[in-house]
Amino acid sequence: MKIRVINDRQGKKKKGEKVLDLIFEDRTNGLSSKDKEMLHELLGFAADYLKLTGEIDLSLTIVNDAEIHEINKTYRNIDRPTDVISFAIEDLGEDELAVMGLPEDMPRELGDLFISIDKTREQAADYGHSFERELGFLAVHGFLHLNGYDHLNEADEKEMFGLQKEILDAYGLKRA
């Protein structure tokens, strides 16, 4: 899958092009160019692994613990920082209705991912693997949430975590 990184939200798409538009922002300035490149490649790889087709849009924002804490508190009513938060566009709330009749050539909007760079570093140390592996894990975890996967019960958790491991292993980010 072709990946087009849009940092200025002005990207242009060709009709029918198979592409993942990633709107990326590192608000911490804490990622290396290698880390950013890995995230872009990994998310494109994950999209291909899931056999997603057509034009797909998502945003990924790297934040610190203070910012993800505020997001978690505001939108999830949980008063602590977390590692990754996903806001899936296709998840319908209780009183929301699906939008029908949209043109077929419109991009599929997956949603927004927020990853805490502080939690990424902390968890990499706690689990004894690289920062890159933890960052990749969190990106794939959030990406799967945006695609309807969850871990609210044991069966769903087994499916989602198994798929996460498959994607990360196939990409080459195996757990140490």
Annotated binding site for Zn(2+), which residues? 141, 145, 151
Residue among 114, 134, 121 at smallest CA distance from 175:
134
| Structure token digits, residue 160 | 């989602």
What's the chain's Rg over C-alpha atoms?
16
Annotated binding site: 141, 145, 151
Cβ atoms within 10 Å of 65's Cβ, excluding its own: 18
Cα pseudo-dihedral 162, 56, 3, 150, rounded to 10: -20
